[in-house]
Amino acid sequence: MPRDHRPAKSVRLLLAEDQGMLRGALAMLLGMEPDMEVVAQVGRGDEITPKALEVRPDVALLDIELPGRSGLDAAAELRDEVPECRVLILTTFGRPGYLRRAMEAGAVGFLVKDGPVEELARAIRRVLTGETVIDPALAAAALSAGPSPLTVRERDVLNAAVDGATVADIAGAVHLSESTVRNYLSSAIGKTGTRNRMEAVRAARRQGWL
C-alpha cells in the first residue's frame, strides 16, 4: 500500500523539465521552501521512472513534452512502479485533452508554468494531503471541450503521420496494413473536422488529444 503522503521532514521532489535554465531556477526556488527538498532533476522523459525508483520522491513535477518519453506516459508508469509518488503535471501547454489524459494516467495535479512558485508550493502540499489540484481555467475548458473523440488507433496513426510520412511509412510504424491506416486517417480527419492528415494532426495537438 502507498505510504502516507505527509512526510515528517521535508517533501522530497523530483523535477522533470528539458529546459535546463528553467529546471535549475525551479529547483532553487522550491529548495528555498522550508519543508521541501529537490532530490532529483532530469531532462528526459525516459529518465523519470529510473530516477524515481532510485530516490523515491514524495512528489514528481513533470513537464509533458519531453525528449525520450512524454510526461503523461511517465506519469502512468510512475503510478505502477512508484505508487507512493504523487504526480503533478507542470506545463506550458494548458490544453483540455492533456488534462484528461493526465488524470487518466494517475496525476493528481495539473498546473501551467506561468503561475507563481508560491502557488506551486501550495499545490505540492495539497496533493500530499490527498487533494487533486487543477488550474481552474483549464478545468473549465476541459469540461467544455468534452473527451477526445479519437480512438487509440486513430491517435497512433496521427502520431505517426508527421514529417511527410507516407501511408506506407505509417503502416510500418504502427504495424497495420496500408488500407487500415487509410481508414483510420479518414476517420480521424472526419472527427477533427479537417481536410487532410496534417490538419488533423495540428488540430488534435491543439486540443491535447495527441
Q: Tell me the per-residue pLDDT of 178-202, one tens digit each, with 9 for 90 and over.
A: 889 888 888 888 878 888 888 888 8
Task: Write the CB contacts of 21 (distance below 8 Å, at least 6 apart in sequence).
Answer: none
Q: What is this structure's pTM?
A: 0.67
Going by pLDDT thresholds of 50, 70 and 90, the confidence category of residue 141 is low
Distance CA 12, CA 28 (A): 14
Q: Please report where in the chains the cell 488524470 appears, as a residue.
A: 103
- Cα separations (Å) of 16 from 4, 24, 139, 142? 23, 11, 23, 24
pLDDT, position 55: 96
Q: Which amino acid is at 141?
A: A
pLDDT at 4: 45
Q: What's the Cα-to-Cα distance from 167 to each of 135, 161, 182, 186, rounded to whole Å? A: 39, 8, 7, 12
Taking only the tens place, the pLDDT of each residue in 48-89 is: 999 999 999 999 999 998 999 999 999 999 999 999 999 999
Q: What average pLDDT score do residues 11-39 get?
A: 93
Interatomic CA distance for residues 82 and 54, integer angstroms = 10
Torsion of CA 182, 153, 18, 90, to 10 degrees: 130
